[in-house]
Structure 1
Amino acid sequence: MLLHVLHETSYAYAPAVKTAQHVAHLRPADGAGQRLLRHRLSIHPAPAQRSEDTDVFGNARCFFGLQSAHDHLRVVADSVVSTSAHALPGESLPWEEARERLRYHRGAEYDPAAEFVFASPYVPRHADFVDYARASFGPGRPLLDGARELTARIHADFAYVSQATDASTPALEALALRKGVCQDFAHVMLGCLRSLGLPARYVSGYLLTQPPPGQTRLVGSDASHAWVSVYLPAAHGPGCWADLDPTNDRAPGEDYVTLATGRDFSDVSPIRGVIHGGANHTLRVAVTVAPLSPPQAPTIADPTDQEPA
């Protein structure tokens, strides 16, 4: 499937911001079931400095700085991605065995997935998460089966309420509230898995949504999305990651676009930074995810093909 993603972020400041430094995670991933065919990142006003690199988790990111006063900031990421369906593995190890394979002991072979067992800024390891997760992880149950049931339980037990939380709401608070948005559902699931000693990572991206019957697709009416990737150790050799979406109780498919992966939202926030001035600000985010027909497919762009401003 070809998907066109337009992600626009606008800030209005009062008084004006004097100087600012920002980092953006807005370039979709290239690989793992999808191909990035085109990406342009426009920044207005034009930054004084701008650079691109890759973070410790392998995500593309853009640093930019503005050294003159400005009362607005507009960042537009325009991407075209080719996606494909990716089925979940047919079987997995019992969850206790999977946990033991990632537990540290002398002479153990290092597995990079082990770093996703530990607590992160928004997701602690806590007994409350263990208590909630235990119902899905009985003795000897295959890890993937337990993770899929946990996905379904969060979907059933939690209410999607957009104003119940914000971007900084801790996962334990969302667990107690039993409501929130996709970010909260992902953080709760991460807390459950990690508190059992199982590696899991946060995935940010987009989901193609369909307008109601008889209505046209509204530009800017979509939103960023978040889900979870759980690590499945193999009996021999390297394991694999399996994505699950507790907000929609399903495995992501070709209608999903992966943007970045990390320990939690704090690692992959679309835009964050430090500003001098601008005591008050208004934020507006508009996301459009729309399918493209094959004749409109662009050729593969140079990775440096980015519009500076």
Structure 2
Amino acid sequence: MRYRVRHLTEYLYGAPVTLCYNMAHLLPRDTHNQRCLSRRIAVTPTPVYQTEGVDYFGNPTFYFSVQEPHKKLAIDVECYFEIEQNDLSNQLTLHDLSCAELRALIQASQSPELRMVKEYTLDSVHIHRSKELGEYARRCFTDDTPVLQACMDFTHQIFEEFTFDPAATSVSTPPEQVLKDKRGVCQDFAHLAIACIRSLGLPARYMSGYLETLPPPGQEKLVGADASHAWFAVFIPDLGWVEFDPTNDLMPNEQHIVTAWGRDYADVTPLQGVIFDGGDSQALNVSVDVQRV
């Protein structure tokens, strides 16, 4: 399957910004089943400096600096992808590594790969382990339950018990509050799942990207109707990182497009930086289109 993704980000300021420095996690990365065919990024006003790089997690980064007064900043990214379908049907039935066995492997960390994975069992900026979070997931992650089946059951549990509500949370809402209110968005459900799984001593990481959304039968797809998406992945020896989407109760396949991954949202924020001046107010507009080509 091939896709075209356009992600337009616009900041509108109450007064001119005289100088800004920014880092973006908006460029695509290649994965085992995803390949970027082409990409384009345009910033308005034109930066005096821009460069691409790679962060600690291997995610592509884009740095730029605008040094002329502006009341509007626009970052327009267009990418083309080719995604191969994963054969997920055999993973759940054939891989029977239990939760207790994976926990023991991670604790022993007898290989460089497992030692690197261990950091995904620890606390991070937005995720802190707790007994309460661990208890919420424990009924799925019993010691003798296969890890993949436990993750799928837990994905379904979040999907059934939580309500998608964009007004219920903010970027900084902790998983404990999401668990209490049973409301949030994809980022909250990913953070909650990761926090619960880490609280049980298992490795989980945050996945950021896009999801192709399809309109109801008979209706046209609206321009700009798509959005950035978040889900989580759990490390399984021999398989690597296996992904789960609690917002949609499924294992991501060819409709999920990965841009970055890390310990939580703070590692893969789409755009972050410093501005000088700009007044007391600013507005953010984001438009995302995911189209099959």
Could you report, residue by residue, the CA deviation over 1:131-160 in whole angstroms, capped at 9, with x for unpaired residues? Answer: 101110123111111111110000111100
C-alpha displacement of 1:68: 2.0
Could you report, residue by residue, the CA deviation over 1:14-39 in whole angstroms, capped at 9, with x for unpaired residues? Answer: 11112111110111111320110010
**Aligned residue number for residue 175 of structure 1:** 179
Contact 1:92–1:232 (8 Å) recurs in 2: no
**Aligned residue number for residue 102 of structure 1:** 106
**Aligned residue number for residue 281 of structure 2:** 280
Question: Matches of 1:60 and 1:32 in 2, distance apart?
Answer: 16
Question: Matches of 1:109 and 1:42 in 2, distance apart?
Answer: 42
Question: Matches of 1:244 and 1:192 in 2, distance apart?
Answer: 14
Aligned partner of residue 103 in structure 1, secondary structure: helix
Give the letter for the 2:111 counterpart. E
Aligned partner of residue 226 in structure 2, secondary structure: coil
C-alpha displacement of 1:109: 2.8
Could you report, residue by residue, the CA deviation over 1:248-296 in whole angstroms, capped at 9, with x for unpaired residues? Answer: 000111111111010111111111111111221000000000101xxxx
**Aligned residue number for residue 130 of structure 2:** 126
- Give the TM-score normalised by the residue count of structure 2: 0.95
C-alpha displacement of 1:55: 0.4
Q: Percent identical across equivalent pairs?
A: 39
Question: Matches of 1:207 and 1:284 in 2, distance apart?
Answer: 19
Contact 1:52–1:62 (8 Å) recurs in 2: yes
C-alpha displacement of 1:104: 4.9
Could you report, residue by residue, the CA deviation over 1:62-83 in whole angstroms, capped at 9, with x for unpaired residues? Answer: 0111122111100011011001
Question: Matches of 1:11 and 1:269 in 2, distance apart?
Answer: 15
Question: Matches of 1:2 and 1:109 in 2, distance apart?
Answer: 37
Runs of 4 or more above 3 Å deviation: none
Contact 1:95–1:140 (8 Å) recurs in 2: yes
Q: CA RMSD in A?
A: 1.2
Question: Matches of 2:30 and 2:236 in 1, distance apart?
Answer: 22
Question: Matches of 1:230 and 1:67 in 2, distance apart?
Answer: 42
Question: Matches of 1:92 and 1:184 in 2, distance apart?
Answer: 29
Question: Matches of 1:189 and 1:54 in 2, distance apart?
Answer: 27
Unaligned runs of 5+ in 2: none
Unaligned runs of 5+ in 1: 293-309
Question: Matches of 2:187 and 2:221 in 1, distance apart?
Answer: 24
